[in-house]
Amino acid sequence: MKHSLIIVFGIGSLVSNFAFANAADLAKAKNCMACHSIDHKVVGPAFKDVAAKHTGEKEAENKLAQKVMKGGGGVWGGMAMPPNTNVTEAEAHTLVKWVLSLK
């Protein structure tokens, strides 16, 4: 009994760590990190600043997922983000959920 409980908790924390590493790896694989960093501005805004700006905003996940796929500008000043045509809608949602969770 004791042992099976330990195994259940072990698997639980493995799964949640894996989910996190996955989105971060996806961001690297999709080249997001060429223009973004988690905590400082590169070409685009720091992902932590994006999370802070859009916290509590209605439809933030949908709007940002569309923007990741189609590109766009005018929010952060300076350059616009080009379309990321290598990202599917599902991947865009995964990436945006991850970005919005960074605070």
The binding site for ligand HEC (CB under 6 A) comprises 27, 30-32, 34-36, 43-45, 50, 53, 64, 67-68, 72-76, 79-82, 84, 87, 95-96, 99
CA-based R_g, the chain, Å: 16
Report in angstroms how near the CB of residue 4 gets to ligand HEC at its nearest. Answer: 39
Nearer to ligand HEC, 17 or 31 (CB): 31
Nearer to ligand HEC, 11 or 34 (CB): 34
Nearer to ligand HEC, 30 or 48 (CB): 30
Residue carrying structure tokens 């969770």: 101
Query: If phi over 0 gives left and psi between -120 and 50 gives alpha, with beta otherwise, what is residue 38?
Result: alpha
Cβ neighbours for 59, distance < 8 A, ≥ 6 positions apart:
none
